[in-house]
Amino acid sequence: MSIYKNCRIDTNSPLQWFQVDELGRIADFGIGTPTSEDANTIDLLGRHIQPAFVDAHCHILPTGLDLIKLHLGTANSVADVLDLVRQRHADHPEGWIHAVHYDQNKYGKDVTLEELDKISSIRPILLRHVSGHSSVANTAALLAAGVHENTPDPDGGHYGRDADGRLNGQLFEHAHEIVTNASPNPTLEEMVDAIMLAGESMNAFGISCASDMMTGRFDLALELNAYRIAAERGCKIATRLYLQWNTVFGRKSLDKDLFDDLVKKLDLAPSSRCKVAGIKIFADGAIGSATAAIYGSFSGATSDGPVLAHHARAAKHAEKEVSGTLIYSPEKLKKMVLTAHEVGYQVSIHSIGDYATDLVLDAFEATGNPEKHRIEHAMILSDSQIERLAKLNPYVTFQPEFLCRFAHSYKKQLGNRSANLIRVRSVLDAGLRVSFNSDRPIVAGDPRTGIEAAVNRPEGYNPAEACTYAEAISAYTVEGSRVNGDGDYWGSLSRGSSGEFVFL
Ligand SMILES: [Zn+2]
């Protein structure tokens, strides 16, 4: 039992105390001095406290895997990059060398394949660009992916070449993905370490509970075990897992007994440190790559955008002019949602474009229980769509930090339409349940950055869509708990809820 005294939950509120029990729940609280005190009483000296944040949409394992990789953020020149890679090679003598946050714009020129080959001609070396869309490889990495001098460029990407037409190690878009995917999957132990590290870094931002929105990207059985083991070893955040549809119902699905056994090992209560929360489906792509499924067209769209061959092009299915990429046909999407819904799962769908959102709402409506499910991103919404959303009432999740990080590519692809991205005010006014999250690791993921962006929309975005601080904090705390199916257990300061809070 710990007692915290002399804190305020609002700038003008009186001093308060909280008592937290052995299970980490708020057992009691009140105004003034605590009814009992002991040696463990912590005096917060009048500080303002709020419930810990809930990040209900991010990628926990990938966040941790990036933390394990060599970070090039401190490098300012090609020589710095090579020094760091050489050091890594000496310190960790086995396997691939993966580096992140490579940025040739800072160095003035690119690292060459020859320079990397001089560090090792046997070990694959791959430096990922800070954008996540390109990388530089050495010869061993290219060979591991089966890429030779006469390998043709893949759809939606290309291998960089020098003036003589020889491979120079530069990899763009799908070519970058092909070589990245050639590296071996992390082992169970590596996954556990990565999840623990991610938990630590997120907890340092005041986050108590977070949702992994794509569990099963490598191997569902390994990942379920890794998240459970991380929880048992005291991972600093509670984890909620949204399993990729294909790994449960589709071509990558596990043996049913094995799957049931893995899920049974997880405690499903709201206070659980790790549990399966639902099923994740992607309806479309992203704005920056012109692959979100939108009405109208992208102003900066190029014909060689990264459209994967098996994806149905949006244009095939609509009567109006549409652009971008649907990951599944409308019929298939509806079937997938119904399949997961009938088993009792909450379904969470990535939908960035307004056209994709219409199809997602059609699918949710078909379940007869649309308020159970969640739509992720919903970045482009018309007034009539907001009316329809309000009628069906699914949870809506927004990632306001995107407004700061990707303004340039939004403007390039959507022109003036980008001003109305992420319509927080309109969606809240329509009465919808809104949670804010980060989607890290594609952004840094400090909840304060997201809250700031939602309250003071950055230059170039319609200020009429801003919300208040109180609304933003609630969206980044208790609303995250609710959308995860945990009621008010996380992100609220009430009796019986999690006693994790942050002080400011
Ligand atoms: Zn995501």
Q: Return the pLDDT at 157.
A: 80
User: How many Å apart are CA 84 and CA 72, to the nearest integer?
Assistant: 7
Identify the band that residue 309 occupies on the pLDDT scale cut at 50, 70 and 90.
very low
In this predicted model, what pLDDT tens digit does every residue of 359-395 receive, in sequence order?
Answer: 999 999 999 999 999 999 999 999 999 999 999 999 9
Say if residue 355's pLDDT is above 60.
yes
471 Cα: distance to centroid of ligand 1 (angstroms): 22
Q: Return the pLDDT at 290.
A: 86
CB atoms within 10 A of CB 267: 13
Identify the band that residue 317 occupies on the pLDDT scale cut at 50, 70 and 90.
low
In this predicted model, what pLDDT tens digit does every residue of 148-158 receive, in sequence order?
Answer: 999 999 887 88
Q: Are 349 and 360 in contact (CB under 8 A)?
A: yes
Say if residue 301's pLDDT is above 60.
no
Q: Are 445 and 202 in contact (CB under 8 A)?
A: yes
Q: How many H-runs (helices) and E-runs (strands) does the chain carry?
A: 19, 23
User: How many Å apart are CA 145 and CA 138, to the nearest integer?
Assistant: 11
What share of the chain in percent tops pLDDT 70? 96
User: How many Å apart are CA 276 and CA 290, to the nearest integer?
Assistant: 32
439 Cα: distance to centroid of ligand 1 (angstroms): 5
pLDDT, average across residues 5-22: 89
Of 13, 18, 119, the C-alpha closest to 70 is: 119
- pTM for the model stands at 0.89
Angle at 121 between CA 115 and CA 127, to 5 degrees: 55
Q: Return the pLDDT at 362.
A: 98
225 Cα: distance to centroid of ligand 1 (angstroms): 21
379 Cα: distance to centroid of ligand 1 (angstroms): 13
Say if residue 423's pLDDT is above 90.
yes
Q: Which residues of 434-463 are buried (b: 16+ CB within 10 A; e: fewer)?
A: bbbbbbbbbbebbbebbbbbbbebeeebee
Q: Return the pLDDT at 318.
A: 59
pLDDT, average across residues 388-414: 95
Backbone angles phi, psi at 267, to 5 degrees: -75, 130
Tell whether the torsion through CA atoms of 261, 267, 269 and 274 is positive or negative.
negative
Which amino acid, one-letter code, is at 109? Answer: K
In this predicted model, what pLDDT tens digit does every residue of 179-218 receive, in sequence order?
Answer: 999 999 999 999 999 999 999 999 999 999 999 999 999 9
Residue carrying structure tokens 């890290």: 440
345 Cα: distance to centroid of ligand 1 (angstroms): 19
292 Cα: distance to centroid of ligand 1 (angstroms): 14
pLDDT, average across residues 237-259: 94
Angle at 465 between CA 380 and CA 302, to 5 degrees: 30
Say if residue 305's pLDDT is above 50.
no
165 Cα: distance to centroid of ligand 1 (angstroms): 37
Q: Are 432 and 446 in contact (CB under 8 A)?
A: no
496 Cα: distance to centroid of ligand 1 (angstroms): 31
Q: Return the pLDDT at 302.
A: 46
428 Cα: distance to centroid of ligand 1 (angstroms): 22
Name the DSSP class of 269. S
Mean pLDDT, the chain, whole residue set: 92
In this predicted model, what pLDDT tens digit does every residue of 45-87 receive, in sequence order?
Answer: 999 999 999 999 999 999 999 999 999 989 999 999 999 999 9
Residue 47 structure tokens: 């500080």
58 Cα: distance to centroid of ligand 1 (angstroms): 6
User: How many Å apart are CA 290 and CA 306, to the nearest integer?
Assistant: 8
Q: Return the pLDDT at 310.
A: 33
211 Cα: distance to centroid of ligand 1 (angstroms): 10
40 Cα: distance to centroid of ligand 1 (angstroms): 40
Identify the band that residue 308 occupies on the pLDDT scale cut at 50, 70 and 90.
very low
Say if residue 266's pLDDT is above 50.
yes
442 Cα: distance to centroid of ligand 1 (angstroms): 8
376 Cα: distance to centroid of ligand 1 (angstroms): 8
* Helices 256-264 + 220-232 axis angle, to 10: 10
Say if residue 132's pLDDT is above 80.
no
401 Cα: distance to centroid of ligand 1 (angstroms): 13
Residue 312 structure tokens: 């149905």
Of 152, 198, 138, the C-alpha closest to 441 is: 198
In this predicted model, what pLDDT tens digit does every residue of 25-49 receive, in sequence order?
Answer: 999 999 998 888 888 899 999 999 9
Q: Are 450 and 206 in contact (CB under 8 A)?
A: no
57 Cα: distance to centroid of ligand 1 (angstroms): 6
pLDDT, average across residues 238-254: 95
361 Cα: distance to centroid of ligand 1 (angstroms): 19
Residues 6+ apart with CB under 8 A from 190: 65, 68
Q: Return the pLDDT at 306.
A: 36
54 Cα: distance to centroid of ligand 1 (angstroms): 15
322 Cα: distance to centroid of ligand 1 (angstroms): 23
Say if residue 88's pLDDT is above 70.
yes
56 Cα: distance to centroid of ligand 1 (angstroms): 10
In this predicted model, what pLDDT tens digit does every residue of 438-484 receive, in sequence order?
Answer: 999 989 999 999 999 999 999 999 999 999 999 999 999 999 999 99
User: How many Å apart are CA 5 and CA 33, to the nearest integer?
Assistant: 7
User: How many Å apart are CA 474 and CA 428, to the nearest integer?
Assistant: 12
148 Cα: distance to centroid of ligand 1 (angstroms): 33
pLDDT, average across residues 90-108: 92
